[in-house]
Amino acid sequence: MTVSTPAIVKPNHRFLFKPVDNCETTEGCHMDVWLPDGAKEVTSEGGRMLTAEGEWYSVTQFDIRDDLMDAYHFIQQKLNSQIAEELDIKHEVVNTQSIILFGGSAGGTSVLCLAADIEKYNNNSENTEKLPQVKAILCAYPLTDPNNHFAEPKAVWAEKTSKMFPEDWELIKDFPTTGKVCTSYNFPIGRWDTCKDPRFLFARTAMATQTLNSFLYGCDAPYPASVTALDLISQTFPPTYVLAAMADDLIPVEHSFLLYDKLQKQGVESHIAKVGGAGHGFVERPPTDWPADTDYWKSDIREAVEWAVAKVKSARLLAGEYGHKSRIYLAPL
């Protein structure tokens, strides 16, 4: 099996999988799809992986989870027909029974929630058509216990931001935390100190004041168990590989250890890579942002990816551009 190194690759297709009326940037949530070479031909040979990456309108965690489930339903019910129509072919390209999830940071928390929500959906007797559970999860530096990080009350945000970041406060004091949503925001990687976009400043100050979760979950702590990733891990949870950033200065690395410990206690097949010297976001960042003489792909990421790919019995993986979004990897037919 060969695995290509990460590269910037433009998607082959973009599909609107969820219209959103109250959206200021686009008509709703989109899914970007990277197709393997030779997708138009019918073949029985193992090909590259197909990658789907989506846009979610991040209002609360509940909205994110709804978006992810809608994306998963779209994959199961419509993705093959949409691809076939655009390529003018009659055969299916995607094996929707063989899916891998990847997410880093909030995306890592989100893919854990998606697997749990698929299980919850299937356990609901009213849902007669069951969804295939994902084959594996790659989860990097997630926040798994919201009650012990970013858990200050929402009221603290205005009080502290106006004192800690007076110039930024003037730009965001009237910025609405409800109202129109955005589904196509590009997170300014590498421009933390210079970006003055209100959405980014709000997110940064919410993290700096430790109030982010109270906005994300729509209430002040303590947060309900239904939003706590650790409480969603069951004995039937999919195999999971955790990438722990040992030098994480945003989310304590203990959150990755707590996840791994919970998976082990539940008897779930799980692995953890303790990536020495790695800071938050090392998986999403391009190699040019890694420290000199460091290759996280060769030392840690590749092993995790190969482990996950083996779960869907595919021959090759095409890794596209890393980003701050959750990713869904699908095996070709």
Give CA–CA dist 327/333, Å, rounded. 19
| 36: number of Cβ within 10 Å | 20
3-class DSSP state of 2: strand
CATH topology of domain 2-145+228-332: Rossmann fold (3.40.50)
pLDDT for res 324? 39
pLDDT for res 319? 35
Q: Output the CA torsion sign for 224, 225, 229, 230.
A: positive
Express each pLDDT in 165-209 by its tens digit. 999 999 998 876 666 676 666 666 566 677 888 888 998 899 999
How sure is the predictor about 44, in pLDDT bands with cuts at 50, 70 and 90?
very low
Share of the chain above pLDDT 70, in %: 80
For the chain, where do the domains classified as CATH 3.40.50.1820 start and end?
A: 2-145+228-332
* Residue 87 pLDDT exceeds 60: yes
* Residue 38 pLDDT exceeds 70: no
Name residue 181's beta-bridge partners.
Answer: 23
User: How far, rounded to the nearest angstrom, does the alpha carbon of residue 229 sit from its chain's CA centroid?
Assistant: 13
Express each pLDDT in 214-266 by its tens digit. 998 989 999 999 989 999 999 999 999 999 999 999 999 999 999 999 999 99
Q: Which CA distances in Å does 121 have to 114, 115, 138, 238?
A: 10, 10, 21, 15
| Mean pLDDT lowest among 76-85, 90-99, 270-279, 313-322 | 313-322
Residue 47 near residue 23, CB atoms below 8 Å: no
How sure is the predictor about 328, in pLDDT bands with cuts at 50, 70 and 90?
low
pLDDT for res 40? 62
- DSSP 8-state class, residue 29: E
Q: Which CA distances in Å does 179 have to 22, 47, 176, 231?
A: 8, 44, 7, 30
pLDDT for res 58? 46
pLDDT for res 325? 46
Name residue 29's beta-bridge partners.
Answer: 18
